[in-house]
């Protein structure tokens, strides 16, 4: 399990989305334009992306080439 101050805790994601249901959390985050990643039954949300969303800025996840995968 990833434990880092960079990511919201599961309880913070529940508060942000007003839901305990992972599928509903995904819907809310998608509708609000907040980037996230799903790891099994856990949603990972960056604190930075959340702050940007709260400030009214559009958060665009990177779609650049993953050079770690290039051989």
Q: pLDDT band for 59, please (50, 70, 90 cuts).
A: confident
The residues with which 7 forms a beta bridge, in sequence order, are 46
Contact 17, 51 (CB under 8 A): no
CA-wise closest residue to 7 among 53, 52, 59, 46 = 46
pLDDT, one tens digit per residue, over 2-37 is 556 899 999 999 999 999 999 999 999 999 999 999
> What residues contact 53, with CB distance under 8 A and at least 6 apart?
32, 33, 34, 59
Domain ranges of the chain: 10-58
Total-model pTM: 0.75
Report the pLDDT averaged over residues 50-65: 81
Report the pLDDT averaged over residues 41-58: 92
Report the pLDDT averaged over residues 39-62: 88
């Amino acid at each position: 399990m990833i434990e880092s101050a960079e990511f919201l805790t599961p309880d913070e994601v529940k508060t942000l989305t007003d839901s305990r249901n992972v599928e509903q959390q995904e819907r809310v985050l998608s509708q609000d334009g907040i980037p996230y990643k799903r790891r099994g039954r856990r949603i990972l949300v960056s604190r930075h992306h959340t702050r940007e969303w709260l400030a009214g800025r559009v958060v665009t996840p990177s779609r650049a080439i993953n050079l770690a995968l290039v051989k």
